[in-house]
């Protein structure tokens, strides 16, 4: 795997290897004398900090750039940005609005035979580094056991998509509850069903019933701000609160990629409850980035 644009760029076995490498003590400094370019078209707290920390821990230097100073497709094309960054950096992490931008960047790097791998740090379509951290978190609580049920309540968005693909790939059961107009498309639902056991509904209580993991994310993602008022109305009744958690399994955990919008997709008491593992999840962002860089550098766990 040269580029990491969606979680299914890794097979089930490879995901397990990345997770194993994420917890390796004294990992080799595979990035020593290397730099990693990190470009952000949208704000970030966890992704930027976890990536920068992981690069440093592996001996490398992260070079972060934010929206205005790069101007992808404004100051110059995404292709020219990618080819330029590839001449300095071993990896290029990018947080972009359109997923197609990442595909163009990867193609541009490949077209000049450069080695730099493109890593998706969130696009409108996918958030695979988040999904790795989510799987690491679920694994630390339950193990990635066949039949474990993960309920996603809210918008069928980038985070929901990568989480669903990742969980299904690992043999977990997934139930997604969104208002009907925010469901994944029919062709996508069909494709997800081909990976594993996933169900779709418009009833949060039904989706959360007996779940081991209840996961939510914002109703209005970055780039959708003009829809905010409409979405607040459409998602009424989809808040993960104590009533909804009562439908889940007795030992259920609550997950959220963060940032959280208190009182919208999640209530403060649930976010702060003993069931909430959101801070562990946030820290796992850094551990899995280390695991991912190790894996992409050809390191494999000792069997």
**What contacts 90, CB < 8 A, 6 or more positions away?**
31, 34, 35, 36, 60, 115, 116, 117
> How many residues of this chain interact with ligand NVA, rule: CB under 6 A?
9
Dihedral, CA of residue 157, residue 161, residue 164 and residue 170, to nearest 10: -150
Question: In angstroms, what CA-CA distances link 170 with 36, 192, 199?
Answer: 29, 13, 16
Q: Are 117 and 91 in contact (CB under 8 A)?
A: yes
Which one of 38, 85, 92, 122 is in contact with ligand CP (CB under 6 A)?
122
**Least distance to ligand CP, CB of residue 95, Å:** 7
Rounded to 5 degrees, φ, ψ at 201 are -155, 175
Catalytic center residues: 95, 127, 130, 217, 257, 285
In terms of CB distance, is 34 or 221 closer to ligand NVA?
Answer: 221
CA angle 143, 245, 183 (to 5 degrees): 85
Q: Does residue 45 bind ligand CP (CB under 6 A)? A: yes
DSSP character at residue 275 = T
In terms of CB distance, is 237 or 259 closer to ligand CP?
Answer: 259
Which one of 34, 175, 221, 284 is in contact with ligand NVA (CB under 6 A)?
221
Query: For residue 175, what are its two tokens?
Result: 């139930």
Number of CB atoms found within 10 A of residue 112's CB: 12
**Least distance to ligand CP, CB of residue 275, Å:** 19
Q: How many CA atoms lie within 13 A of 158 on its CB side?
A: 25
Q: Does residue 217 bind ligand NVA (CB under 6 A)? A: yes
Q: Are 150 and 131 in contact (CB under 8 A)?
A: no
Site string for ligand CP, 78-117 (x = CB under 6 A): ----------------------------------------
Q: Does residue 286 bind ligand CP (CB under 6 A)? A: no
**Least distance to ligand NVA, CB of residue 296, Å:** 22
Q: Does residue 213 bind ligand CP (CB under 6 A)? A: no
Which one of 7, 153, 257, 266 is in contact with ligand CP (CB under 6 A)?
257
Q: Does residue 284 bind ligand NVA (CB under 6 A)? A: no
Which one of 22, 158, 239, 281 is in contact with ligand NVA (CB under 6 A)?
158
- Span between the terminal Cα atoms of the chain, in Å: 21
Site for ligand NVA in 86-145 (CB under 6 A): 122
Task: Give CA–CA dist 51/258, Å, rounded.
Answer: 16
Q: Does residue 218 bind ligand NVA (CB under 6 A)? A: yes
Q: Does residue 123 bind ligand CP (CB under 6 A)? A: no
Stretch in the footprint of ligand CP (CB under 6 A) among 57-65, 206-214, 232-240, 253-261: 253-261
> How many residues of this chain interact with ligand CP, rule: CB under 6 A?
9
Task: Give CA–CA dist 266/143, Å, rounded.
Answer: 25
Q: Which residues bind ligand NVA (CB under 6 A)?
A: 122, 157-159, 217-218, 221-222, 257
Q: Which residues bind ligand CP (CB under 6 A)?
A: 44-47, 122, 130, 257-259
């Amino acid at each position: 795997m040269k580029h990491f644009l969606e979680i299914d760029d890794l097979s089930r076995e490879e995901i397990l290897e990345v997770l194993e490498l994420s917890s390796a003590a004294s990992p080799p400094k595979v990035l020593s004398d290397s730099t990693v370019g990190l470009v952000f078209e949208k704000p970030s707290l966890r992704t930027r900090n976890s990536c920068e920390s992981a690069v440093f821990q592996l001996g490398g230097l992260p070079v972060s750039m934010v929206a205005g100073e790069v101007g992808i497709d404004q100051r110059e094309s995404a292709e020219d940005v990618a080819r330029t960054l590839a001449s300095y950096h071993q990896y290029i992490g990018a947080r972009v609005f359109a997923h197609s931008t990442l595909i163009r960047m990867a193609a541009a790097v490949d077209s000049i035979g450069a080695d730099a791998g493109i890593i998706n740090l969130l696009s409108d379509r996918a958030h695979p580094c988040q999904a790795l951290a989510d799987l690491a978190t679920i694994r630390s609580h339950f193990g990635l056991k066949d039949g474990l049920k993960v309920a996603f309540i809210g918008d069928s968005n980038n985070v929901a998509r990568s989480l669903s693909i990742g969980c299904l790939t690992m043999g977990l059961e997934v139930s997604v509850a969104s208002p009907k107009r925010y469901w994944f498309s029919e062709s996508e639902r069909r494709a997800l069903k081909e990976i594993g056991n996933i169900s779709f509904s418009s009833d949060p209580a039904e989706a959360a019933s007996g779940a081991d993991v209840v996961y939510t994310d914002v109703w209005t993602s970055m780039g959708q701000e003009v829809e905010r008022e409409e979405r607040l109305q459409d998602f009424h009744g989809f808040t993960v609160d104590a009533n909804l958690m009562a439908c889940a399994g007795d030992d259920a955990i609550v997950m959220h990629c963060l940032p959280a919008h208190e009182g919208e997709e999640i209530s403060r008491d649930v976010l702060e409850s003993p069931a909430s593992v959101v801070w562990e999840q946030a820290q796992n962002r850094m551990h899995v980035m280390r695991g991912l860089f190790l894996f992409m550098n050809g390191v494999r766990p000792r069997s």
